[in-house]
Structure 1
Amino acid sequence: MSVHETAWPKQLRVSPDRRMLTVQFTDDRSYAIEAELLRVRSPSAEVQGHSPAQRVTVGGKSDVTITKVLPVGNYAVRLVFDDGHDSGIFTWNFLSEIGEAKEERWAEYIAELADKGMTRTR
């Protein structure tokens, strides 16, 4: 268990343009995470598959927005995106990890798109 697994979000806020989710944790860490990154790295089986080899590269989501944030028990939220994707369960730990490694996750995503001849816009 990482030290951050004991921290809980004290605030989740979607930006007015719905393109950013800000998560502030009880240990005072705060992350602003783009809707696009959350959508393309969604923890859903639709995106992640059932093994690393089955993970799907999702392009064309540069304009995606978050339409709803729905609580899931006391451990996560379900994010609903304007493209209809709504099956990811975003745990507090997942949000913490993607927030901490955001730059690395973006770089991986951009490289993956380039390797597959895809772009953020199509």
Structure 2
Amino acid sequence: MSNHETAWPKELRVSPDRRMLTVRFNDGRSYEIEAELLRVRSPSAEVQGHAPGQRVTVGGKSEVTISKVLPVGNYAVRLVFDDSHDTGIFTWAFLSEMGEAKEERWAEYIAELADKGMSRIF
């Protein structure tokens, strides 16, 4: 079983400017994940699609913030963003993987934007 599958957060904290989510896990790992990255890689069907290859590239979110963090059972949170996106269920495993692979996910996102002639700026 991977660290992601057994991840259990002991703290979730939104920064004062609402642009960063800090996740601290019970095994000592801690990650700061930008609201923008969480928004553009949201696990929602709106972003990921309903089948492989349907993921949508979302641009113009450099200023997005986290408005609310709502619990979903004991396995996830629903993040509500100030652009009204609120359909993603962010499991502990998803947050663990996103934190660990943050640099790689950023690079993929920036490359996708460039390939599609899109920008982080709205």
* TM-score, L = length of structure 2: 0.98
| Partner secondary structure for residue 38 of structure 2 | helix
Specify the alignment match of 1:29 in structure 2.
29
Number of the residue aligned with 2:51:
51
TM-score (norm 1): 0.98
Aligned with 1:114: secondary structure?
helix
Residue equivalent to 2:61:
61
Partner of 1:52: helix, strand, or coil? Answer: coil
Give yes or no for contact 2:13–2:23 (8 Å, CA) kept in 1.
yes
Aligned residue pair count: 122
CA offset digits 1:36-94 (Å, max 9, x no partner)? 00000000000000122110000000000000000000000000000000000000000
* Cα distance between partner residues in 1 of 2:11 and 2:119: 32
Q: Which residue of 2 aligns with 1:17?
A: 17
Cα shift at 1:114: 0.3
Q: Is the CA contact 2:37–2:106 (under 8 Å) kept in the aligned structure 1? A: yes
| 1:6-52 Cα shifts (integer Å, max 9, x gaps) | 23100000000000000000001000000000000000000000122
Is the CA contact (8 Å cut-off) linking 2:7 and 2:96 kept in structure 1? no
Unaligned runs of 5+ in 1: none
Percentage of pairs with the same residue: 86
Q: Which amino acid aligns with 2:33?
A: I
**Structure 2, unpaired ranges of 5+:** none
Instruction: State the distance in 2 between where 1:91 and 1:7 align.
Output: 9
> What is residue 115 of structure 2 aligned with on the other side?
115
Calculate the aligned-residue CA RMSD, in Å.
Answer: 0.7
Counterpart secondary structure, 2:13: strand
Please say if residues 66 and 80 of structure 2, whose CA atoms lie closer than 8 Å, have aligned partners that are also in contact. yes
